[in-house]
Amino acid sequence: MVKFDNTTQETLEEFRAEEEEDLARMMADKYGVQYVNLSGVPIDTNAMRLIPEDKSKEYEMVAFDMLDNEVDVAARIPSESGVKKMLEKLKNEGYQPTLYIASRNSLQTAWKRYEDISYASQRSEGLLDISRESIAEFLEKVDSVKKAKELVEETLGMKKAVRITRIVEIIIAAALALDASDIHVEPRDDGVRLRMRIDGVLRPITALNRETYELLLSRIKILSGLKLNITDESQDGRFTIELDEREIEVRTSALPGPNGETIVLRVLDPSRLFLDMGKLGMNERLQHIVKEQLDRPNGVILNTGPTGSGKTTTLYAFLSRVNKPRINIITIENPIEYHLEGATQTQVNTSEGYSFFEGLTAALRQDPDIIMGGEIRENETAKTVIHAGLTGHLVFSTLHTNNAAGAFPRLIELGIEPDIMSSAINMAMAQRLVRKLCPDCKQKRQLGNEEKETISDIFDSLPDKEAKQSLWPQDEIWTAPEKKTDCTTCGGMGYKGRIGVFEAVLVDEHIEETLRSAPTEREVREAVNQQGLYTMTQDGIVKVLNGVTDIEELRRVIEVQ
């Protein structure tokens, strides 16, 4: 029997490989297509995902490169029916495949890259099966930003497929454990940054290497139903996680940039939604007024403030209070953030011509008692909201103004007649969210002279005499620690949770008379002083003196002067 040494064996294998490549070149000439040796070209795993691994091996073909909707596909025998079927499928999906011929050995080299791809397990109804045990495990472990960072960094040393699965589970569990509203994955010149928005402030978690980012990006896109081959346009998607008998929805936004796509995941956990008005942060007098207005059968209640100021949560709390079996509630949202039992909720779809205006018009034909609409931005929507309030419906809507008094001049700018507006609107509110001081690590500090003067000026105009006497003057106020602590309650952040600061304009007889003359914002503010309601600044300062938040945090969200 002839025996070969290792060198001879390697030479024979190289010879067979060369023969196989020569045969592939001949086949390419025969079919009039290009030849490719996949052992010597970079393989795009995003392209590979277009053909599932089992089909790729069955048909002896692989997608190996992609630019926009143009896809390069290599096959051993292009005349095979499976190859033709797959190419037709790609065309039907909007791709433009270019066919190459490759040897079996070359294809086997590419197939090894499937090990790098972690396919998400998704149910047909769009629910994502993430390991509940893993999520529960990480929820127990994550008690701070530091711990989230440690867990992610431990995972970076794992094998690729396992690594990406674990990172997805960790960042979602960390977001839930830390009450983060958003997860940011941001490619930059110097690396990839992972951050989370906790209590309204972005906190850095850790840095990811480029390879992990690319795999994580693909995984998130698959989960969210985004197109892998689109990298130069923004995309929006979503996926849902079932956990502890509740559905947590994750909204995905992909935005192209010079260093790659930035991904932001908005985490919507129904257990975070405060439907108890007493937990929103309104003082007793404002709560009493709001409840009276919610009991009215018609009119418009406006809530104003920038994005992220808590307007949606407040409106959901209002809806929860008035939600009864005998009441027909219809909402027009963009998007629907939380399910409200008993209400008919509809979502804006501008690409299909279904805007807030169309939604409001349709809702009025559904015999509603209460309507919650989105932001009033143009004349048609403004007129429809006002008309609904005047014709026997209670309407909740939002405006983008800096304060409650500014809602009225804004509506006049949008073409609403002052007389009609004054009859339709019951109340306009404004709000912001401030972080609450951690109860376990907050500290007292001396007030500076300038701070004392500022607070004293604000308190001089405070309508609540009892609060004046009980809260002022003070020499010290509560504040977050200057340096990071080891506090386990807040993870060393100094703040835990958020609360609203509010102001409102109640449309009583005096305000109604004022509105008829098309007043400026300043004139509305002067008229509302007689109502004895706090401004946002006054409400915030009262919360500062009560140790709920600190003056630095209040200044972050509103002007204190």
393 within domain boundaries: yes
* CATH number of the domain where residue 545 is located: 3.40.50.300
Domain shared by 247 and 350, yes or no: no
Domain shared by 106 and 140, yes or no: no
* CATH number of the domain where residue 225 is located: 3.30.450.90
DSSP-derived secondary structure for 394-439:
EEEEEE--SSSTTHHHHHHHTT--HHHHHHHEEEEEEEEEEEEEPT
Domain shared by 152 and 92, yes or no: no
- The percentage of residues in the chain with a pLDDT greater than 90, rounded to a whole number, is 55
Domain with 219, as residue range(s), is 127-270
Examine the pLDDT at 68 and tell me if it is beyond 80. no
Tokens of 421: 């507006």
Per-residue pLDDT tens over the stretch 431-488: 999 999 999 999 999 998 888 888 888 888 887 777 767 778 788 899 999 888 888 8
Q: Give the domain-ending residue among 60, 93, 116.
A: 116
Q: Give the domain-ending residue among 222, 249, 270.
A: 270
Q: How confident is the model at residue 119 (pLDDT cuts 50, 70, 90)?
A: very low
Give the chain's mean pLDDT. 87
Per-residue pLDDT tens over the stretch 123-180: 333 344 456 667 667 877 887 888 888 888 888 877 665 678 788 888 988 999 898 9
Domain shared by 431 and 501, yes or no: yes
Domain shared by 439 and 540, yes or no: yes
In 438-511, where do the E strands start and end? 443-446, 476-479, 495-506
Per-residue pLDDT tens over the stretch 38-59: 987 888 877 888 898 889 999 9
The stretch 489-511 carries a mean pLDDT of 93
Q: Do 326 and 346 meet the contact criterion of CB atoms below 8 Å apart? A: no
By DSSP bridging, strand 476-479 and strand 443-446 are antiparallel
Domain shared by 492 and 404, yes or no: yes
Examine the pLDDT at 509 and tell me if it is beyond 90. yes
354 within domain boundaries: yes
Domain shared by 453 and 391, yes or no: yes
Rg (CA), the chain: 30
Cis before 473 (ω within 30): yes
Domain shared by 415 and 287, yes or no: yes
Per-residue pLDDT tens over the stretch 371-390: 998 889 999 999 999 999 99
By DSSP bridging, strand 201-208 and strand 299-304 are unpaired
Q: Do 78 and 1 meet the contact criterion of CB atoms below 8 Å apart? A: no
Domain shared by 204 and 322, yes or no: no
Please give the tally of structural domains in the chain. 3
Domain shared by 103 and 159, yes or no: no
Q: Give the domain-ending residue among 71, 95, 116.
A: 116
Domain shared by 246 and 282, yes or no: no
